[in-house]
Structure 1
């Protein structure tokens, strides 16, 4: 791997780490590009090449992952969870959640509390796949 490629990867990781750390805060491409020290267009293009999805889609998925956990482990309303994970519109949250998970937040919540499993396994098992499918059947293989 060339030095330029390593530097580019490091810059993209810095921006992704910021998204992971501050997912509930308002984040936009200009702010993330500044973190990565690149132009906005270059940031979007390089982030997608590096991680396989656009920065916006990564941030949406990260927010939905957190919402999935909150829906199954708290009594907060869907609206409160929507706002807590960084969405500013319940309609957008519901649409994005359904796209990523395959069902609306209220239906997902009806599945009840999460089964007690090691958190690393549970996170991998419940992570939404790129096709939007989530499998929770006992013995089912985790999504790719």
Structure 2
């Protein structure tokens, strides 16, 4: 790998790390290009070539991934989660979530709720099997 390619990858990783850290902040291509120390057009082309998707789509996906976690782990409203992860409107959030996940945020929450299973069943299902052969002595 040439030094120029390595330097370009490092710049793109710096911008992607910024998106991962500050996904809820209003990030746009000009701000990300400044982080990577390249022009906006160069940033967009290089980011897509490096990571396989445009910067805006990557940021949306990161926001949706965080929203998925919050929908599973909390009982906060979908609207609160929408704004917490950085979307500016509930409509955009729902449309983007559905496009990426394949279901609405509310439906995802209903389907992601773990069924309540009695502890005795959980212990029985996760108990190591006694039918495994004993390890051979060498």
TM-score (norm 2): 0.81
Partner of 2:32: 32
- Asked whether 1:109 is paired with 2:128, we answer no
Task: Give 1:17-28 correspondences, 5 Å limit.
Answer: 17-28=17-28
Describe the superposition over 1:68-107 as per-residue Cα deviations: whole angstroms up to 9, x where unpaired.
Answer: 0000110110000000000011000000000000011000
For these two proteins, the number of residue pairs brought into alignment is 115
Residue 111 of structure 1: how far off its partner (Å): 1.6
CA distance 1:36–1:58, change in 2 (3 Å): same
CA distance 1:58–1:20, change in 2 (3 Å): same
Task: Give 1:1-144 correspondences, 5 Å limit.
Answer: 1-113=1-113
5+ residue gaps, structure 2, are 116-138
> 2-side partners of 1:34 and 1:109: how far apart?
37
> 2-side partners of 1:114 and 1:74: how far apart?
13
> 2-side partners of 1:112 and 1:66: how far apart?
14
5+ residue gaps, structure 1, are 116-144
Q: Would you identify which runs of 4 or more consecutive aligned residues in structure 1 move more than 2 Å?
A: 112-115
User: Is the 1:97–1:105 Cα contact (8 Å) retained in structure 2?
Assistant: yes
> 1-side partners of 2:113 and 2:106: how far apart?
13
Bigger helix share: 2
Give the 3-state SS of the residue equivalent to 1:23 in structure 2: coil
